[in-house]
Amino acid sequence: MTTSSSAGQSRRDFLFVATGAVAAVGAAAAAWPLVAQLNPDASTIAAGAPIEVDLSPIAEGQDIKVFWRGKPIFISHRTKKQIEEARNVNVASLPDPQPDSARVKEGHDQWLVVIGICTHLGCVPIAHEGAYDGFFCPCHGSVYDTSGRIRQGPAPSNLPVPPYAFISDSKIKIG
């Protein structure tokens, strides 16, 4: 038996295309869960809930490191001198221009809270090192100032400020 009529031919072509299209949709849909499973799972997300940090034990000039969502968060209790240094900078001349006031909470100028991950390739910078009294990344030599802004080296941007808020004068909630 052969289908020689052109109507039969086009009906067949339609059938082949429809079958192929449905099969392709099925294959694409099947790929979805295989990729979606790579997302953080529910327990990881639940463990990434906001944390509270008590600032009272941190003396002036000291800093601590806490972990939130697996990232080190630097909390520095800045000295007057450090605050001055952060403010007395020609913002326009910075590689990533940002005034110090945009990086701390109003009325809490002494507290700098930044994610301690170098914006170059993810190493953890060392506090109180480098030419700007801020942070120095030992991996590739990026230097950050007392506001966590990039001043020298290959890093493209400032140390990011995580979402946080003061719930009292001596307590912050990160996240």
Partner 1 sequence: MSGPSTFQPKNPVLKWIERRLPIFGLVHSSFVAYPTPRNLNYWWTFGGILSFMLGVQIVTGVILAMHYTPHADLAFNSVEAIVRDVDYGWLLRYLHSNGASMFFIAVYIHMLRGLYYGSYKEPREILWILGVIIYLLMMATGFMGYVLPWGQMSFWGATVITNLFSAIPYFGESIVTLLWGGYSVGNPTLNRFFSLHYLLPFVIAGVVVLHVWALHVAGQNNPAGVEPKTSKDTVPFTPYATIKDAFGLACFILFFFWFVFYIPNYLGDPDNYIPANPGVTPPHIVPEWYYLPFYAILRSIPDKLAGVVAMFSAILVLAFLPWLDSSKTRSMRYRPLAKQCFWIFVGVCLGLGYLGAKPPEGVYVIAGRILTACYFAYFLIVLPILSRIEKPRAVPNSIADDVLGKKKSVVASALAVIGVVGLLALDSGSTARASDHGSTPPSMSWSFAGPFGKFDQGQLQRGYKVYKEVCAACHSMNLVHYRNLTDPGGPGLSVAQAEALAAEIQVKDGPNDAGDMFERPGRIADKFPSPFPNENAARAANGGAAPPDLSLMAKARGYERGFPQFIFDAFTQFQEKGPNYIHALLTGFEDTPPEGFKLPDGSTYNRYFPGHAMKMPNVLSDDQVTYDDGTPQSVDQYAKDVAAFLMWAAEPKLEERKRLGFQVMIFMVILAGLLYFTKRAVWADAH
- Which residues form the catalytic set? 140
**Least separation in angstroms between CB 40 and partner 1:** 9
# chain residues binding partner 1, by CB under 8 A = 27
Complete edge-to-edge strand list for the sheet that includes strand 51-54: 51-54, 171-174, 164-168
Which x/- pattern over 115-134 shows residues binding partner 1 (rule: CB under 8 A)?
Answer: --------------------
**Least separation in angstroms between CB 36 and partner 1:** 4
Residue 170, both tokens: 């001596």
**Least separation in angstroms between CB 77 and partner 1:** 15
Q: Tell me phi and psi for residue 116, to 5 degrees.
A: -85, 55
For residue 107, how many C-alpha atoms fall within 13 Å in the half-sphere facing its CB? Answer: 5
Site for partner 1 in 13-72 (CB under 8 A): 15-16, 18-19, 22-23, 26, 29, 32-34, 36-39, 41-44, 46-47, 49, 57
**Least separation in angstroms between CB 167 and partner 1:** 16
Residue 72, both tokens: 């080190």
**Judged by CB, which is closer to partner 1: 105, or 173?**
173
96 CB-near residues (< 8 Å, 6+ apart): 149, 150, 156, 157, 158
CA atoms of 156 and 142, how far apart (whole Å): 9
Spatial CA neighbour of 145 closest among 105, 90, 108, 64: 90
Q: Does 92 bind partner 1 (CB under 8 A)?
A: no
* Residues lying near partner 1 in the complex (CB under 8 A): 1-3, 12, 15-16, 18-19, 22-23, 26, 29, 32-34, 36-39, 41-44, 46-47, 49, 57
